[in-house]
């Protein structure tokens, strides 16, 4: 693994050198973890002219499960801050100056104005440049090791969901179902939930990002569930909608079939070289043409990895094209105020047609189940 991290840092170094700043300071936690193998709280990575350096706050150790926290690349020098309450970013800028750096590229989309100013005051001669989303861009295409973590996470989420479906649901609250799902994720080996588990019943069903309430499941409800597991830091996502009771009504079947068709269109559009916006359009136009243009969320899907919401965005105004080995969600939905709705959400990996097309990681059935 050490070689993987070193290779990632080398790729970033090339970009930085090409951008005119040989030295970079990475502060966004997921980016630090990607390049260093772990991101202890507050740690920053200095990609230096000399040797690379992970600077950590000298805070009390918080050694959770290794799988969850990651383990720092052993080839990397680790420096602990001597001063309590000091800022590792400031200490790293100090080291950069000592190494003779003239400019330092920082993550302006992550560093606060106050920290930026603190760096400038400790290293006034250092020219501060913007690293922009360079690390986020490197993270878009995953290697097979990363994909295998996502695959295991998806299996765990599938398992937790299938167990829930075997239990009695009527009368239980959204909150309890969400907590039970999270417990099952951990039971099956997840580091933890990949994001706050969403359970939405009745009029809440189909709402993206719905936070569980005390509403209880009732006969006749739509029930939509969205959950994900974190496994070795990698986060996946699955969403399904069910009907409670024996026979879904006509409007429920119709709406479900429509969202299913939109989601399938989105999945089928996932090919290397396809524009992000075209995937979005494939799913969106199915719902649009059925008259739901105003009920649609702003995106159809997004990348996943060390964070649950990564590049790319599959949205109308997104720029760029899919590559092979990019994991994304496809998650269209329709929510009708007062009535509820449907969301169907999978995590897939973009693969060339020669390899069989998109690889579905979340394999729970998408038939409309009546529970």
Binding site for a second copy (CB under 8 A): 59-65, 68-69, 84-85, 106, 108-114, 116-117, 130, 175-176, 179, 182-183, 186, 207-214, 297-298, 315, 317, 335
| Least CB distance to a second copy at residue 93 (A) | 14
Q: How far apart are CA 164 and CA 177, in angstroms?
A: 8
By C-beta, is 94 or 196 nearer to a second copy? 196
By C-beta, is 13 or 211 nearer to a second copy? 211
By C-beta, is 64 or 291 nearer to a second copy? 64
By C-beta, is 111 or 123 nearer to a second copy? 111
| Least CB distance to a second copy at residue 250 (A) | 26
Token pair recorded at residue 221: 């409800």
CB 63 within 8 A of CB 69: yes
Q: How far apart are CA 26 and CA 14, in angstroms?
A: 15
| Least CB distance to a second copy at residue 287 (A) | 14
Residue 47's φ and ψ, nearest 5 degrees, are -95, 100
Residue 117's CB is within 10 A of a number of other CB atoms, namely 11
Q: How far apart are CA 302 and CA 309, in angstroms?
A: 6
CB 73 within 8 A of CB 5: yes
* C-alpha 364 chain-centroid distance: 20
The burial of 221, by beta-carbon neighbours within 10 Å (0-12 exposed, 13-18 middle, 19 or more buried), is given as buried
CB 34 within 8 A of CB 72: no
| Least CB distance to a second copy at residue 233 (A) | 14
| Least CB distance to a second copy at residue 106 (A) | 8
| Least CB distance to a second copy at residue 130 (A) | 8
Overall size of the chain counted in residues: 371
Q: How far apart are CA 173 and CA 82, in angstroms?
A: 49
By C-beta, is 171 or 352 nearer to a second copy? 171
By C-beta, is 28 or 142 nearer to a second copy? 28
The burial of 114, by beta-carbon neighbours within 10 Å (0-12 exposed, 13-18 middle, 19 or more buried), is given as exposed
By C-beta, is 85 or 291 nearer to a second copy? 85
Residue 237's CB is within 10 A of a number of other CB atoms, namely 28
| Least CB distance to a second copy at residue 94 (A) | 19
By C-beta, is 89 or 368 nearer to a second copy? 89
| Least CB distance to a second copy at residue 182 (A) | 7
Spatial CB neighbours of 281, under 8 Å, sequence gap ≥ 6: 316
């Amino acid at each position: 693994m050490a070689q993987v991290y070193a290779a990632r840092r080398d790729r970033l170094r090339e970009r930085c050198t090409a951008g005119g700043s040989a030295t970079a300071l990475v502060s966004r936690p997921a980016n630090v973890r990607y390049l260093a193998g772990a991101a202890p709280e507050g740690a920053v990575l200095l990609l230096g002219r000399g040797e690379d350096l992970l600077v950590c706050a000298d805070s009390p150790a918080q050694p959770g499960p290794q799988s969850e926290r990651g383990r720092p690349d052993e080839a990397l020098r680790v420096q602990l801050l001597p001063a309590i309450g000091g800022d590792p970013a400031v200490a790293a800028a100090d080291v950069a100056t000592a190494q003779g750096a003239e400019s330092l590229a920082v993550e302006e989309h992550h560093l606060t104005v106050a920290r930026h100013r603190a760096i400038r005051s400790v290293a006034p001669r250092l020219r501060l440049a913007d690293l922009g989303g360079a690390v986020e861009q490197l993270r878009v295409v995953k290697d097979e090791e990363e994909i295998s973590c996502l695959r295991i996470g998806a299996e765990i989420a599938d398992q937790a969901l299938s167990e829930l479906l075997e239990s009695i649901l009527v009368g239980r609250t959204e909150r309890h179902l969400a907590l039970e799902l999270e417990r099952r994720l951990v039971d099956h080996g997840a580091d933890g939930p990949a994001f706050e588990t969403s359970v939405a019943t009745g009029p809440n069903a189909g709402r993206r990002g719905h936070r569980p309430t005390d509403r209880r499941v009732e006969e006749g409800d739509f029930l939509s569930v969205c959950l994900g597991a974190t496994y070795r830091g990698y986060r996946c996502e699955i969403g399904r909608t069910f009907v409670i009771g024996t026979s879904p009504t006509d409007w429920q079947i119709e709406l479900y079939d429509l969202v299913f068709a939109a989601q399938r269109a989105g999945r089928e559009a996932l090919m290397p070289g396809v524009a992000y916006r075209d995937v979005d359009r494939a799913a969106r136009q199915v719902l649009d043409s059925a008259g739901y243009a105003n009920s649609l969320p702003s995106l159809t899907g997004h990348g996943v990895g060390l964070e649950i919401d990564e590049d790319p965005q599959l949205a109308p105004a997104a720029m760029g094209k899919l590559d092979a080995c990019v994991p994304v969600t496809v998650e269209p939905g329709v929510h009708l105020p007062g009535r509820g709705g449907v969301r169907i959400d999978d995590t897939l990996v973009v693969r060339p047609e020669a390899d069989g097309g998109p690889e579905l990681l979340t394999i729970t059935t998408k038939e409309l189940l009546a529970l």
